[in-house]
Structure 1
Amino acid sequence: MGYFCGGQWLKCANTFYVRNPAIGEVIARVANAGTTETERAIDAAVKAFPVWRAKTAKERSEVLCRWYQLILDNESWLARLMTAEQGKPMKEAEGEVEYAASLIQWFAEQAKRANGEINCTRSDLI
């Protein structure tokens, strides 16, 4: 059992079961990340940040648009997963997936705009 970090799947010693709350059926066994795994993920994010920072607003928007499209392309699967994991009605889960996708789309569009004040920061503080 593992977790995705820094572009690769890593092993995790601890796991836990995710159960369907309606019937108690085990639907997944997932990594239970602890301090070591969390620190590894933080280190990976710090290493990845310069690449993201170097992207233009348009490039960042394109990444978010791809994420948005992936959510829509997998809407049924995501809704079924949410229903199994949380016990919520399918229609509610579908609405939640669509709403989440709409937020990603909104941020993708905002990435193209520079409205209001732009606060410059010292790069060594980021």
Structure 2
Amino acid sequence: MSLIMGCASASKKETDFYDLEVEKFSSSVKSLLTDLEFLKKEILKVNANKPSIQRILIEADNLWMKKDLKQASSTLERGLRIAKDESALYLRLAHLRLEQGLAKESSAFAERGLLNKGASSWELLLLKIYSAQKN
């Protein structure tokens, strides 16, 4: 009986993705930084939690696919004014800024996205990759 009680009282260990450093990732994860097309495809798979923001993401994604980066960016920024807690918005903005050659802005959006407690592990990993871009 004491064995069962001992197991029941064991605390659940959670991984803290907020403190991970990109340098400690495996080489395959680091290679994501060099393959922006693959990274973009992964980001486009990330959905919003709120339906109203999901509609904005779809609109921005369509503009992005048409290479209208400026309008896609404006659409995503409108989404941020509605909901600042949607990691999908920060991910897309971080990638768009990187495509535009604005690595510091990309990193800033990613760092802000990392503050969202509702982000999934995959979102946190992707945001961490973008936050490492400081050039």
Would you say same fold, with TM above 0.5? no
Greater helix fraction, Structure 1 or Structure 2: 2
Greater strand fraction, Structure 1 or Structure 2: 1
